[in-house]
């Protein structure tokens, strides 16, 4: 679920937090780094389980409405297409998802069901819902596309839900797009009604990615002074105090990858950190960083200080 760019972002944020707090306790900060990455799994489960809880809440509402003393004909015989949506059922019956929710002790919606009610009201007020409910033809493909559209266009943009998640864990702010994109990708990939076909993904693609997070954090923090010397003379028109702190961290991390990660291609490092700079630093940062790193790559290559192992790594 967590790709290497997001790992780089998490490491960058951890180093920035160390600078801001003046902390030199690397062990403590590393634990927080992995805590923040680990919590991405909880965010994923919370967002996915919102679909299950929305269906449950509507089921209860329809049942109670049908039992009212003066229930209308529509209330006594409600349109159950929504609650019988095959994707809702698949998620509710998925062993993989149920086990993950239990293991991670995810019970957010039982404690905060007002957000589920809020989401359900928004759903039922949407044209998407009205169109779906008016169609009498039921297909698996229609059910799947409806849930995808529902998640993408009603649930994800909900400002109250976003505020709730932000208040719960501030570290989730940058994780929300990553998690939601992954969920939408998973929903689109569902091809069968078999609940066992849906699997909760591993947090890291493999053990190498987790090691990458640890190594990038440690090697950058332990070598900050040395890494800074590599670009100091490349910024003659810039007072070091005028360079945005995020930019200096990005530069150090990129240089760290050049020098201490022989299996990572230079182009990958350049592209990744330029994209991170565009998103997290000043408008001109990517141009500034690109100029420094481009010159540095030429110098490191000429001086044979940068050794890359494998084909096409330069």
Region 290-302 average pLDDT: 93
pLDDT of amino acid 73 = 85
Which CATH class for the 207-303 domain? mainly alpha
pLDDT of amino acid 236 = 54
SS3 217: helix
pLDDT of amino acid 242 = 55
SS3 204: strand
Question: Range with the lowest mean pLDDT among 180-184, 234-238, 250-254?
Answer: 234-238
Region 155-176 average pLDDT: 95
pLDDT of amino acid 241 = 53
Q: Measure the N-to-C terminal CA separation of the chain; round to a whole number of Å.
A: 27
- Please check the confidence at residue 112 and state whether its pLDDT lies above 70: yes
The proportion of the chain whose per-residue pLDDT surpasses 70, expressed as a percent, equals 96
Per-residue confidence band for 234, with pLDDT thresholds at 50, 70 and 90:
confident
What the block records as the tokens of 248 is 């200096």
- Please check the confidence at residue 238 and state whether its pLDDT lies above 70: no
Beta bridge partners of 65: none
What the block records as the tokens of 41 is 């799994």
pLDDT per position as a tens digit, 30-58? 999 999 999 999 999 999 999 999 999 99
The proportion of the chain whose per-residue pLDDT surpasses 90, expressed as a percent, equals 82
Q: Largest alpha-carbon pair distance within the chain?
A: 86
How far apart CA 61 and CA 75 sit, in angstroms, is 10
What the block records as the tokens of 28 is 């403590």
How far apart CA 198 and CA 188 sit, in angstroms, is 11
Among 43-47, 197-201, 304-308, name the most confident range.
43-47
- Residue in 265, 162, 205 with CA at minimum distance from that of residue 6: 205
Please name the residues in contact with 11: beta carbons below 8 A apart, sequence gap of 6 or more.
33, 213, 216, 217, 220, 253
Q: Residue 78 phi/psi, 5° resolution? A: -70, 160
- Residue in 271, 246, 277, 268 with CA at minimum distance from that of residue 313: 268
pLDDT of amino acid 16 = 94
Answer for the pair 53, 116: CB distance below 8 angstroms, yes or no.
Answer: yes
Residues of each domain in the chain carrying CATH 1.10.940.10:
207-303
pLDDT per position as a tens digit, 209-219? 999 999 999 99
Q: Is 173 exposed, middle or buried (0-12, 13-18, 19+ CB in 10 A)?
A: exposed
Per-residue confidence band for 67, with pLDDT thresholds at 50, 70 and 90:
confident
């Amino acid at each position: 679920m967590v790709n290497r760019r997001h790992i780089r972002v998490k490491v960058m944020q951890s180093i920035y937090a160390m600078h801001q707090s003046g902390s030199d306790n690397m062990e403590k900060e590393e634990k927080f780094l992995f805590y923040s990455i680990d919590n991405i799994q909880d965010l994923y489960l919370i967002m996915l389980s919102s679909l299950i809880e929305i269906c449950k809440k509507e089921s209860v509402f329809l049942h109670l409405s049908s039992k009212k003393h003066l229930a209308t004909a529509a209330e006594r015989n409600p349109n159950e297409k929504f609650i019988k949506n095959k994707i809702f059922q698949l998620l509710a019956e998925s062993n993989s998802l149920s086990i993950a929710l239990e293991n991670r002790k995810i019970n957010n919606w039982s404690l905060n069901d007002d957000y589920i009610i809020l989401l359900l009201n928004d759903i039922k007020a949407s044209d998407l819902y009205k169109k779906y409910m008016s169609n009498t033809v039921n297909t698996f493909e229609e059910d799947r596309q409806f849930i995808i559209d529902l998640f993408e266009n009603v649930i994800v943009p909900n400002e109250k839900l976003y505020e709730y998640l932000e208040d719960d864990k501030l570290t989730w702010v940058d994780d929300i797009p990553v998690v939601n994109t992954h969920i939408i990708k998973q929903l689109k990939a569902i091809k069968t009604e078999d609940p066992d076909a849906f699997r909760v993904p591993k947090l890291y693609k493999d053990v190498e990615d987790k090691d990458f997070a640890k190594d990038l954090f440690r090697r950058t923090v332990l070598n900050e002074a040395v890494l800074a010397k590599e670009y100091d003379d490349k910024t003659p028109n810039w007072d070091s105090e005028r360079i945005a702190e995020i930019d200096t961290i990005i530069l150090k991390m990129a240089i760290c990858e050049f020098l201490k990660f022989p299996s990572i291609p230079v182009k990958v490092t350049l592209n990744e950190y330029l994209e991170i700079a565009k998103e997290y630093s000043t408008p001109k940062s990517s141009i500034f960083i690109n100029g420094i790193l481009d010159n540095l790559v030429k110098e490191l290559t000429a001086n044979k200080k940068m050794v890359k192992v494998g084909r096409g790594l330069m």
